[in-house]
A and B are shown apart, each in its own frame.
Chain A
Amino acid sequence: MYKLSSYTGNIFLHGQICAESLIIKKLLVDLRAFFIVKYEIGIRIGEDYMKIIEVKNLSKDYKYKVKKEGKGFIYNLFHEEEKVVKAVNNISFDVEEGETIAFIGPNGAGKSTTIKMLTGILYPTKGDITICGYTPIKDRNKLAYEIGTVFGQRSQLLPNLPLTESMEMFGTMYDMDKEDIKKRIEELTKLFDLKEFIKQPVRKLSLGQRMRAEIATSLIHRPKIIFLDEPTIGLDVVSKKNLRDLLLKINKEEKVTIFLTSHDTEDIQSICERCVIINHGRIIIDTSTKKLLSDYVKNKNIIITPNTEFIEFPDLPEGMTYTKKSKSQIIVLVDTEVIHTQKALQELIKRFDIDDINIDNESLESIIRSIYEKN
């Protein structure tokens, strides 16, 4: 950036000397445009500019003591055996600036441990992490200015005071001056629609309001990345939807990179462009959410409704199974690797007097479930 501006600066200086010459002016404009395009391409293709998170061969072991069965208390007091659990096992991935990434896996897969290593809470056993150019454990203080965190199960707010008090406290923590804190609170109030409850003590807020407040507070210092661990846990469907919309909004409007863990597939589908699936401490899939949905959908649900009512349920060809049999509706699961959807439809039309047909793709939830089960 520095080189580019100093170079164009010199050209403009030269341009002032020969100001009368339109040709030179045009040349300068062209040259400037050329350099700007080249610079932008450099950002797009130059990996160093883009990566906001870099993880290489990251591992984390937990040690715990095991008592020997059949041995007494005194024996076990001095002869406890140490066992090692590999919570995270040699994982590597990168995240680009502005990405929305879901880091998912079943309970005990290593998601929280990974997030905690990324944010500098836990020391890795092995491997390297770079976030915004910092090593989390070494540069924890500097990194804190670049990241925001929301853990759905924990609150960082002062429970008896209005939200503004917590925001002011956090603003001071991040070295913001009074004016800036005030301005930022106004911005966040607008963005998160906090006006209706910003003066209420946090303790009196509903869970949905509190989560909005938590996320807004974690953004007070304008972080580049926000780590969210189960942000929608315990929320009702409306609050969940609102929160997802807000996260998308901050990603678009404030260019905040979102790193999310959630067991709610709706969170993943509606917020995240990319899914990293982890199980037994290893990354098993790292792909875009769209690709996950298209590549891993092997089953389709065909829902049929009768003209009058279904009485008989004849056997179906291989690759087709009933998942619902009732007088008013039949749902058939089709394994598209065994039988093509078109053929399956023909088979059903042959067997039933049908009024209406709907075909649904397998849900993300069942795709993820089958991935967990296979791995």
Chain B
Amino acid sequence: MKNIKFGLVNILKNMKNEKELKSSFIISIIGMAINNVAFTILWYYFGKTVGVLNGWVATDIFGLYAINSFAFGIVNAFFYGMVEIPNYIVTGNLDKFLLTPKNLLLKISVSKFQTSAIGDMLFGLICGGIYIVVAKISMVQILLMILFTIIVSIIFYSFSLICMTVSFYLLDGRNISTGLYGMFISNSLYHGGAFTGLLRIIFIFVMPSLLIGVLPVEIMKNFDINSFLLILVLTVFWVIVSVLFFYKSLKKYESNNLFGFGG
């Protein structure tokens, strides 16, 4: 309970800290939303041109972006500190988290707020609205979409944490971590119809890019209890693996004496 209270206070303070830079705050949000709109339009027209591809139609792109962008926004807005782990390791700024009480992973995760991620959340909401109207989805499907947004946020956080934790094993793992993270995200944004056979297995079980958008949209369209349970089991799996991996890797931390402000 104390951890939750601390987490909320920290998120609010960090949000306030970013909000102080008002113009940059607003530009970041609007800029990110516009950037995402352009990307979605591109995929939408691709979907329209190709027609039905492995069960995917153009409007499904909105469903994909609704879940994916909103989950990305939640993780990056409120838990952006986790994405900063490679930086914290290289600069030695991880020290300050080890010196204070409360859950370490929570402290790190809520230590930074990324303003532009609000733009992603906003964009996710818009896409969700469009999907509800255009695809004429039922109430059950809407509730399923909300549930999936929460589940996807958890998977998003967990696998991103694994990508960032890799940095503990390298002298300067920032590029490797960012590369893995980028690969994980970019594959989650492609047209769902493109993933078949071995590619599908890899991006579900090895790098769970399809779990954070494509698979939830497919389940939403044609509910299948096995696929639904698979997502739940894999969510628990990635949460456990990521947390254990982080705490085991922490022993590799050797600190550093580089200069820095605020971490």
Residues of A whose CB lies within 8 Å of any CB of B are: 62, 112, 116, 119-123, 140-142, 144-145, 147, 149, 151, 153-161, 165-166, 168-170, 172-175, 201
Asked if B262 contacts A153 (CB within 8 A), the reply is no
Q: Which residues of A contact B107 (CB under 8 A)?
A: 173
| 8 Å CB contact of B102 from A119, A141, A156 | A141
B9 within 8 A of A: yes
B98 and A154 within 8 A (CB): no
CB neighbors of A among B5-55 (8 A): 5-6, 9-10, 13-14, 16-18, 20-21
The answer to whether A155 touches B255, judged by C-beta atoms less than 8 angstroms apart, is: no
Q: Is the CB of A158 within 8 A of B17?
A: yes
- Measured in the bound complex, the distance between the Cα atoms of B92 and A122 in whole Å is 11
Q: Which 9 residue pairs across A and B have the least CB separation, nearest first?
A: A160-B20, A144-B101, A158-B17, A172-B9, A169-B13, A121-B98, A160-B17, A149-B99, A159-B262
Cβ–Cβ contact A116 & B13, under 8 A: no
5 A-B pairs within 8 Å (CB atoms) are namely A121-B95, A157-B262, A158-B17, A160-B20, A169-B10
Number of A-B contacts (CB under 8 A): 90
Annotate B224-263 by CB proximity to A: 1 below 8 A, 0 otherwise: 0000000000000000000000000001011101011111
Bound complex: CA A40 to CA B254 (Å):
43
Please tell me if B93 contacts chain A, counting CB pairs below 8 Å.
yes
Contact status A154-B93, CB under 8 Å? yes
A172 in contact with B5 (CB, 8 Å): yes
Which chain B positions have C-beta within 8 A of A169?
9-10, 13
Residues of B within 8 A of A155 (CB): 260-263
Contact mask for chain B residues 76-116; partner A; CB cutoff 8 A; 1 contact, 0 none: 00000000000000001101101111100001000000000
In whole angstroms, how far apart are the Cα atoms of A283 and B224 in the complex? 68
Contacts A153-B257, A169-B9 given; indicate if A161 touches B101 (C-beta within 8 A): no
Within 8 Å of chain A (Cβ to Cβ): is B2?
Answer: yes
Q: Nearest Cβ distance between residue B136 and chain A, in whole angstroms?
A: 45
| A153 and B99 contacting across the interface, CB-CB below 8 Å | no
A120-B98, A169-B13 known; A153+B260 contact, CB < 8 A: yes
Complex: A123 Cα to B92 Cα, angstroms: 15
Given contacts A160-B18, A161-B20, 9 further A-B contacts (CB under 8 A): A121-B253, A121-B255, A123-B251, A141-B102, A144-B101, A151-B96, A172-B5, A173-B102, A175-B2
Query: Which B residues are CB-close (under 8 A) to A142?
Result: 101
**A153 CA to B91 CA, complexed, in Å:** 11
